[in-house]
Structure 1
Amino acid sequence: MRERVRRLGYAAYERLLHREFSGAPSHVAVIQDGNRRYARKRGVETRQGHSAGAETTEELLNWCDELGIREVTLYTFSTENFDRPEDQREYIFDLVEEKLRTFADADRVHDAEVCIRAIGETELLPERVRDAIDYAETRTGQYDRLNLNVALAYGGRAELLGAARSVARSVESGELAPEDVSVEAIEDCLYEGPTRDVDLIIRTGGDERTSNFLPWHANGNEAATFFCAPYWPEFRKIDFLRAIRTYQNREESWRTTRARRALTLVRALEDAEVPQAKRVLGRFRDALPSGERETVEEYDTAD
């Protein structure tokens, strides 16, 4: 009876979160933490925790397709994970190889037009994993409705360091002038994969840190961050919707801040011509409380 009440409560809360849904982030990055702790809690082998986590990953892709999210990046295997015992590494490699091939052949992946890419120091991975990456990328390379980036042998510092070295070599060889080093020039040297900045980072398992994950794409965009207690195999759709609500609240706060800054600028400049500030103000006026919106209307009528 208690379990039935709990399920009904979750279902009702999920419907509430759906009703509050006002728009999905374009790019969600996920740190899938807690597979091993989940296994220990259940008293089973570590590999069973990773297998259960892989099932949650499949569910995540279904939720993203349903909500219209355009890009997902999964932190699957970091450069630090090479320090794990060999038997753990080999099992993860086996699981990654299997899932890449399974995803590449799955009807739902092709129906949803999912493009699979691997990002990271993939040359460090075993040959069988690299072959599976090539297979998945070839089978899905023609799609662009949902981009799935699988971070393998990935480290954010290593990515930025590699980009810095590449730019330095271009400057040294004369291919690039120092004054031409730009955001675009650096992005061209990052791992091929993410097509847009990260809007939301999710980390399961209770730790509140982003672990060197996508520093350029996430920190530079001031991505919203959602930390939650469930281990990755326990992560549910209701948790995912709560994460998206965190992103929506951040976006609403950002719009309000932008509108207030523009309003302050218009007030400070008084009668000066401030067309750009007024355009920003008009674009974000709905984010202001009603009293402040009346002030915006006064400035509009004063033109």
Structure 2
Amino acid sequence: MKRWLRRRVDVVYERVLSRELSGAPTHVAVIQDGNRRYARRSGGSAHEGHRAGVETTERVLEWCQDVGVEELTLYTFSTENFDRPDEENEQLFDLLCEKLREFADADRVHDNEVCIRAIGETGMLPDRVQAAVDYAQRRTREYDRFVLNIALAYGGRSRLLEAARGVAREVESGDISPAEIDVEAIEHRLYDRPVRDVDLIIRTGGDERTSNFLPWHANGNEAAVFFCTPYWPEFSKADFLRAVRTYEHREESWRRTRARRALALLGAVGDADLPEARSIVDRFRDSLPTGERPEGRLEPPADEPDANGTVESLDSSGSTAD
């Protein structure tokens, strides 16, 4: 297909996908895989692949803001990446320094109030990278309209391990009792500033695994996952919109499953005994096929109080299995 025709088709497809979307995930996490393979295929160096990948990263940030995403996390450099050749890593560190400072000074970042944060064991990075990270964070610290997390020297298990050790030390010192350890206690110790639960993970490059990426925030929230074959420098807006559509389909399935479970419980146990189930059916009835929807609202009996604040307790797992 001629290149100009391919571009026309892509534009039309993007418009179709955009019209199909009715909502957006709040937090998207991306595993930017395939920079080096992209470079090898075209006869270039790994550094050229990483530089091409940065251009995609800048476009994805714009696409996220266009559809209403509020937080984006990029898996940029893992702890395992330290095992790569020194020359390759040094070039990547130079690129990170350049782009972090460039981005922190960009008008579009300040106009859109983008807060740049680094997550991971940044103390393992060279001094020049740490200085660039500090500069970007200081320049954008007061913003909160959009959050851009850069995962550097990152390992999901190591973060959880450090949080657990931190809690153990505080229990040993008497600063916190075992009974006080809850979800918030762990989350506060994972990162310096809060990270939202992940709604969607995107991985490019063809591999179908999440590589220990944000396990607490993604697995705990049962995030939707979108795997695609293009290398990161080739990732297109159509690919991005397809990923968002995957998230929407997962959300629709989640709502439909909860409504069906609640209806089944009402039928088996009785309406008067399950105010929470009635509330869930009323909340998610539009996600059910027309033939499965009960007629009218399932109002509680006059002498029975509403189940305010307890709707989620019926099924907090968010399972999507039909």
With structure 2 as the length reference, what TM-score do the two structures score?
A: 0.91
- Between 192-201 and 205-214, the greater mean CA deviation after superposition: 192-201
The C-alpha deviation readout for 1:185-233, integer Å capped at 9, x for no partner, is 1111102345310000000000001111100000000000000000000
Report the CA distance shift for 1:287/1:271 in structure 2 as closer, same or farther (over 3 A): closer
**CA displacement at 1:22 relative to structure 2:** 0.7
- 1:32 is aligned to 2:32: yes
| Correspondence for 2:167 | 167
Give, in angstroms, the shift of residue 113 of structure 1.
0.8
For 2:73, the equivalent position in structure 1 comes to 73
Separation in structure 1 between the aligned mates of residue 111 and residue 150 of structure 2, nearest angstrom: 19
What is the deviation of 1:181? 1.2
Residue 134 of structure 2 corresponds to which residue in structure 1? 134
1:119–1:193 Cα contact (<8 Å) kept: no
CA contact (8 A) 2:279 2:298 kept: no
Give, in angstroms, the shift of residue 179 of structure 1.
1.5
Q: Residue 155 and residue 271 in structure 1: after superposition, are their counterparts in 2 closer, same or farther (change >3 A)?
A: closer
1:1-29: per-residue Cα shift (whole Å, max 9, x none)? 62222222111111110110111100000
Within a 5 Å distance, the mapping from 1:32-181 to structure 2 comes to 32-181=32-181
Tell me the SS of whatever aligns to 2:296. Answer: helix
Distance in 1 of aligned mates of 2:51 and 2:271? 65
Distance in 2, matches of 1:31 and 1:84, equals 18
Cα displacement (A) at 1:271: 4.5
Q: Secondary structure at the match of 1:206?
A: coil
User: Contact between 2:28 and 2:73, CA under 8 Å: does it hold in 1?
Assistant: yes
Q: Which residue of 2 aligns with 1:250?
A: 250
Distance in 2 (CA, whole Å) between partners of 1:301 and 1:16 is 42
| CA distance in 2: counterparts of 1:272 and 1:287, whole angstroms | 23
Q: Which runs of 5+ in 2 are unaligned?
A: 303-322
Q: Give the unaligned 5+ runs of structure 1.
A: none
Give 3-state SS (helix, strand or coil) of 2:229's partner. coil
Aligned equivalents of 2:78, 2:253: Cα separation in 1: 33
Equivalent in the alignment of 2:197: 197
Residues 38-89 of structure 1: per-residue CA shift (max 9 Å, x gap): 0000001111000000010011111111111100000000000011110011
| Matched-pair contact (CA < 8 Å) for 1:281–1:296 | no
Distance 1:151 1:172 in 2: 31
Instruction: For 1:250 and 1:113, locate their aligned partners in 2 and report how far apart those are by CA, in whole Å.
Output: 30
Match of 2:13, SS state, is: helix
The two structures have a TM-score, normalised by structure 1, of 0.96
* Inter-partner Cα distance in structure 2 for 1:62 and 1:263: 42
Give 1:49's aligned amino acid: G
Secondary structure of the corresponding residue to residue 176 of structure 1:
coil
Deviation per CA, 1:90-148: give whole Å up to 9, x if none: 01111111111011000011111100000000111111111111110111111111100
Indicate conservation of the 8 Å contact 2:25/2:247, yes or no: yes
